[in-house]
Amino acid sequence: MKALDTVLKTACTAAALIGVIALQPARAADEGNGKVLAGTHNCAACHGPNLNNPVSSDYPKLAGQHADYIYWALRQYQMGNGNPNFGRSNAIMSVQVQNLSQSDLKDLAAYIESLPGDLVQKK
């Protein structure tokens, strides 16, 4: 019975925390901060000028890509830690994003999405 009380208290606490978090106003991504981050992390060194002309065909064009996709790709590099079974595994990208907050990742993603690019959507 004591174990059931502990589980119930934990579930109630988790529900309360989720409620408090849900009531927090959403923070809009800051493209200006994203531009600064792209510069300080030297994204153009691999992805090319305006992140649309990679220095190698091994690197993707980023400009104009959907922010949600970019955010989750960057987040997976943070979580991967060299383990391809958990997140993405790329030594360069993992190092680049390790010290960024989730807000920073969203800002960077919003900036990348705002750039004009050559991406083509199939219909």
Q: From first to last of its 123 residues, what are the pLDDT tens digits of the chain?
A: 666 666 666 666 666 656 555 555 566 889 999 999 999 999 999 999 999 999 999 899 999 999 999 999 999 988 876 566 767 778 888 889 999 999 999 999 999 999 998 876 666
Please give the class, per CATH, of domain 29-114.
mainly alpha
What is the residue type of 17? L
pLDDT of residue 79: 86
If one counts every other C-beta atom within 10 angstroms of the C-beta of residue 59, the result is 17
What is d(CA 122, CA 28) in angstroms, rounded to the nearest whole number? 29
What is the residue type of 13? T
At CA 79, angle to CA 77 and CA 82, rounded to 5? Answer: 70
What is d(CA 72, CA 87) in angstroms, rounded to the nearest whole number? 10
Taking the domains of the chain in order of start, what are their residue ranges? 29-114
